[in-house]
Amino acid sequence: MKKKIAAIIGGVIITMGGSTYAAMEHDHSAHDHGSQSMEHQSEMKMPDGMEMHTMEIDGHKINFHIMNRKAFRKYMDNMGHKTHKMKEGMTHYVMMDITDKEGKKIKRAKVKLKVIGPDKKSEEKAAFPMMGNFGAEFHMMDKGKYQVMTLFKIKKAKHYGGFWHEMK
């Protein structure tokens, strides 16, 4: 199992040098990735157009928040960013926070997010750090299942995982 994980991580490291997640682009629902992706995942309904997914990746607790435009606007207003607007054509904001094995919130990391829609089209973005969270805007208008993936680097260690999110 350790060799399999090392091979997967090696592929991700090679992929990080480019601009795509080619090594992670296929459907992961039929594969076992152990603690690196969907093993410890839960989904919670949140108020006001926000949904939360929680998972563990290599001992790090990850909270993903998916906000529609209205929830994003309310979040930005509450944070004092009243002039920040979601870009034209974007429908959702995907935000994540990372907590380490000791329970300390990670504030410095390189984070990439990728969303693959039900039509198999994908968007990949570097997540913008803001107040200890990392986020990016995506177009998630169509109904169906979206694969949401992250690849993050803390110091020199790279970690990846993902989950499925259904738009109804």
Task: Read off the pLDDT band of 47 (50, 70, 90).
Answer: low
8 A C-beta contact, residue 155 and residue 144: no
Output phi, psi for 115, to 5 deg.
-125, 125
Residue 63: predicted pLDDT: 96
Residue 28: predicted pLDDT: 39
Residue 107 has pLDDT above 70, yes or no: yes
Instruction: Return d(Cα 56, Cα 33) in angstroms, integer.
Output: 12
Q: What is the average pLDDT across 64-70?
A: 95
> What CATH number does domain 2-167 carry, 3.30.930.10, 1.10.150.20, 3.40.50.300, 2.60.40.3340?
2.60.40.3340
Instruction: Return d(Cα 45, Cα 37) in angstroms, integer.
Output: 20
The residue written with tokens 């994908």 in the block is 122
Q: What is the average pLDDT across 96-117?
A: 96
In residues, how long is the chain?
A: 168
Of residues 98 and 19, more confidence is placed in 98
Residue 3 has pLDDT above 80, yes or no: no
- The rounded percent of the chain whose pLDDT value lies above 90 is 61
Instruction: Return d(Cα 54, Cα 87) in angstroms, integer.
Output: 26
Q: What is the DSSP string of 81-113?
A: -TT--PPTT--EEEEEEEE-TTSPEE---EEEE
Residue 30: predicted pLDDT: 35
Residues whose CB is less than 8 angstroms from the CB of residue 165 and which lie 6 or more positions away in sequence, other chains included: 43, 51, 53, 66, 140, 145, 146, 147, 148
Q: What is the average pLDDT across 147-166?
A: 96
Of residues 138 and 81, more confidence is placed in 138
Q: What is the average pLDDT across 45-59?
A: 83
Output phi, psi for 29, to 5 deg.
-65, -25
Residue 46 has pLDDT above 70, yes or no: no
8 A C-beta contact, residue 66 and residue 50: yes
Residue 42: predicted pLDDT: 53
